[in-house]
Structure 1
Amino acid sequence: MSAAPTPDQAAQLLFPPNVQYNNARIYTVKFLSSCLSGAVAGVLGLENALGFALFALSTLLTFACLYVKCRGRPAKYAAGGWWELLNPGQENIFSFILVWTLFYGIVHVYD
C-alpha cells in the first residue's frame, strides 16, 4: 500500500506545459472578470466600499466557477491549488479600478 504523495511530490507530477497553459487561461478569466465588474461598478455609479464589495463578490464568483470547472480538484490543474484560483492578483485590482473610473466618468460625467 503506498502512502499519499506529499505536496512537493504532487507538484512534480504536474506537466509544466499544461500548468503554464492552465495558468494563462486562469489569468485571462480573472482579468476579464475584474474588467467586467469594474464596468458594472462604474455604470451603476458605485462609490467607495460598495465598488470594492462588488469586486470581492466578483472574485468569489469567479473562484466558484473555476473551482467547479476544475471538478473540485484545483491542485490537479494549477500548481497553487485553490489559492491560485482565489487570489485576485495585483494587476487585476488595478484593472478593476481603471475600468471602474473610466465607466464612472463616461456615464456620470454631468451628475
Structure 2
Amino acid sequence: MAMERKTMDDDSEGRLYCMDNIQHNQRIVYYSRMFLSIVGGCVTGILGLTGIGGILCYFITMAIATLALFVKTGFSVDAYFVSWYALGLDGIFSGVMSFFLFWTLVYDIVHIF
C-alpha cells in the first residue's frame, strides 16, 4: 500500500482561518443587517407600505445588503468567511423584529397621528 502525499495545490486540503477575524466579520455583517433593518423599517413606514408590500421591502433590503457585502468582499467570500452561507443567508431573519417595530412606529407617526 502506497501512501499519497498531499500538496499545497490539492483541493481537498483544508483552509486555515483566524477565528477572531471570522467572528469580527460575522459581527460586522450582523450589525449592518440590523442597521439596514431599522432604516428599511423607517423607509417602509414613511412610504406607507402595508401588508405584503412592506414585507417585500424587507426582503429587498436584505437582498441589496447581501449583494453589497458580496461586492465588498470582491466575490471572494472564502477569504473572509468560512462559507458563502455565512455571508449570504446567515442572519437574514435576525432583524425582522426590528424592521417590524420601526415600520409600525414610523407608519403610525407619519400616517395616523
The match for 1:92 is 95
Q: TM-score when scaled to structure 1?
A: 0.85
Distance, in Å, in 1 between the alignment partners of 2:66 and 2:86 is: 9
Distance, in Å, in 1 between the alignment partners of 2:108 and 2:63 is: 26
Partners of 2:42 and 2:106 within 8 A in 1: yes
Q: What one-letter code is carried by the residue in structure 2 that aligns with 1:26?
A: V
Q: What one-letter code is carried by the residue in structure 1 that aligns with 2:84?
A: W
Partners of 2:33 and 2:65 within 8 A in 1: yes
Residue pairs, 1:1-12, within 5 angstroms:
2-5=9-12, 9-10=14-15
Partners of 1:34 and 1:96 within 8 A in 2: yes
Report deviation, 1:74.
Answer: 1.5
The match for 2:53 is 50
Partners of 1:67 and 1:82 within 8 A in 2: no
Partners of 2:40 and 2:99 within 8 A in 1: yes
Tell me whether 1:27 sits opposite 2:34 in the alignment.
no
Partners of 1:59 and 1:86 within 8 A in 2: no
The match for 2:3 is none
Distance, in Å, in 1 between the alignment partners of 2:57 and 2:93 is: 16
Partners of 2:62 and 2:92 within 8 A in 1: no
Pairs aligned (count): 105
Q: TM-score when scaled to structure 2?
A: 0.84
Distance, in Å, in 2 between the alignment partners of 1:47 and 1:82 is: 32
Identity %: 28
Let me know the Cα RMSD of the aligned residues.
1.6
Q: What one-letter code is carried by the residue in structure 2 that aligns with 1:102?
A: L
Segments of 5+ residues of structure 1 without an aligned counterpart are none
Report deviation, 1:5.
Answer: 3.5
